[in-house]
Amino acid sequence: MIIEKYGSMLMQALGKTLLLTLLSLFFAMIIGLIFSLMNVGKNRFFNFIGTAYVDGVRGVPLIVLAYFIYFGVPAGVKMMGVQDFRLSALQAGTIALAMNCGAYMAEIIRAGIESVDKGQMEASRSLGLSYAKSMRLVVLPQAIRTMVPSIINQFIITLKDTSILSVIGFPELTNLGKTISGNTFKSLETWAIIGIMYMIVIVTLSKVAKRIERRINFGR
Amino acid sequence: MADKKIKIHVENLKKNFGKLEVLKDISIDIFEGEVVVLIGPSGSGKSTFLRCLNQLEVATDGKIIVDGKDITDKHTDINKVRENIGMVFQHFNLFPHKTVLENIMLAPVELKIMTKPEAKEKGMQLLRRVGLDSKADAYPAQLSGGQKQRIAIARSLAMNPDIMLFDEPTSALDPEMVGEVLAVMKELVADGMTMVVVTHEIGFAKEVADRVVFMDGGYIVEQGPPQEIFVNPKEPRTIDFLNKVL
């Protein structure tokens, strides 16, 4: 039986999948926040950088981005004369996923900020609060409310996208699936088990998300 | 009013939105403790003018001096100036994610003007003043329009401003709630607050305004004490407007 023989390896691989997901999401949130703030501000230069980032990263398939960072970037560094520069699969995977997810996150956060009535920023500014404080204390907390469903959705997509990083040899769940089905020739059972494992995690995540959504309704 | 101190001095103020000239040439002095009511047809620029007074709309040209500080100058710390200018909006703009009391406490605490307990005490005192101390822990979504606007006024007052700007404060209210908001505003008048009010409430203007300013097409067309403007308007455009609204 696959589960008996590979059970602990499957759990380990699932752990790697979750580790990669959490690391990527953490950095993606930071990237998303930075670039969305560049986009909603009035500074033309920052607007340009924000748009260029989002369009640039969204225009490249994740698998290409992963190859570029894992193989391309070290090759480029080598050309500049630095020997021995390598990125681990986890490092390259995290960078690729965080960049990719960050671009989508930037759009989600931008849409969230723009969904907040302009009067909120005006009321806050009229009290003497700075733009940054108004954004942090008044606009963003309200934006989060509309953003939560899309952010959760993006979390799920990112979790699933970790499977793409099996191509650079990161030992996550899908990668292990390839190994197991290669060793045992039991493709049906292997991929069913792998699929169900993803499903359990994702369904649990969506249930938790629903709960969070219901809790932030401010007396409505 | 000649003996009184000039609180707001506006000189040749212009405001364009793209190619649209909303304010063409506005000059006016507003004195300490004066209540100025702005009236005029929609699109006359009265709201834009009011919003220029705390630079929510950045002036295209001209000067606005508040308490001796030129707020159109980029080097002026506009946030500091705004601490002294309260503003009340047509759509209240309460912060929906905060309770009534938190709405009032936010600015004084964040700007370190008061400690939390001080701001709380001040907040409760203001809520009693507008008759809503029982709603301290409610969220804005649970209040009526009139209640929201009274809270919005209390929120502005928490910063102890010496100027209050009102942008059509009763226009979004059901008729039976207009009175309660006007009552709070009248109390402020009695306290000697400098007020600039954009409103369609002619009755309010007649009763409490020191000066009524009629605007049309981006200019101040006529101004004077309410009895003069409402009883004996001189400009044809003022007469025409008053015939429509009275």
Q: How far apart are CA B101 and CA B107, in angstroms?
A: 11
Q: Per-residue pLDDT averaged across B49-67, rounded?
A: 95
Candidates A126, A129, A217: best to mutate against B (most CBs of B within 10 A) is: A126
Check CB contact of A203 with chain B, cutoff 8 Å.
no
Query: What pLDDT does residue B4 have?
Result: 79
Check CB contact of B139 with chain A, cutoff 8 Å.
yes
> Which pTM value belongs to this model?
0.86
When computed from its CA atoms, the radius of gyration of chain A, rounded to whole angstroms, is 21
Check CB contact of A145 with chain B, cutoff 8 Å.
yes
Query: What pLDDT does residue A81 have?
Result: 84
Six-digit token pair at A30?
């930071």
Q: Per-residue pLDDT averaged across B52-73, rounded?
A: 94
Query: What pLDDT does residue A214 have?
Result: 79
Contact yes or no for A130 and B79 at CB 8 A: yes
User: Residue A182: exposed, middle, or buried by beta-carbon count in 10 A (0-12, 13-18, 19+)?
Assistant: exposed
The complex's ipTM works out to 0.92
Question: pLDDT of B169-205, one tens digit each?
Answer: 999 999 999 999 999 999 999 999 999 999 988 989 9
Q: Per-residue pLDDT averaged across B152-158, rounded?
A: 96
* Residue ranges of chain A whose pLDDT lies below 50: none
Query: What pLDDT does residue A29 have?
Result: 95
Tell me, what amino acid is at B151?
I
Contact yes or no for A145 and B94 at CB 8 A: no
8 Å CB contact between A36 and A110: yes
| Mean pLDDT score of chain B | 94
Q: How far apart are CA A123 and CA B156, in angstroms?
A: 9
Q: Per-residue confidence at B121, pLDDT binned at 50, 70, 90?
A: very high
| Residue A47 C-alpha, separation from nearest chain B C-alpha, in angstroms | 20
Query: What pLDDT does residue A113 have?
Result: 95
Q: Per-residue confidence at B167, pLDDT binned at 50, 70, 90?
A: very high
Sheet with B211-216: strands ordered across: B85-88, B163-167, B194-198, B35-39, B211-216, B219-224
Query: What pLDDT does residue A213 have?
Result: 78
Q: Per-residue pLDDT averaged across B92-105, rounded?
A: 96
The angle subtended at Cα A178 by Cα A174 and Cα A184, nearest 5°, is: 130
Residue B207 has pLDDT above 60, yes or no: yes
Residue B152 has pLDDT above 70, yes or no: yes
Query: What pLDDT does residue A218 have?
Result: 59
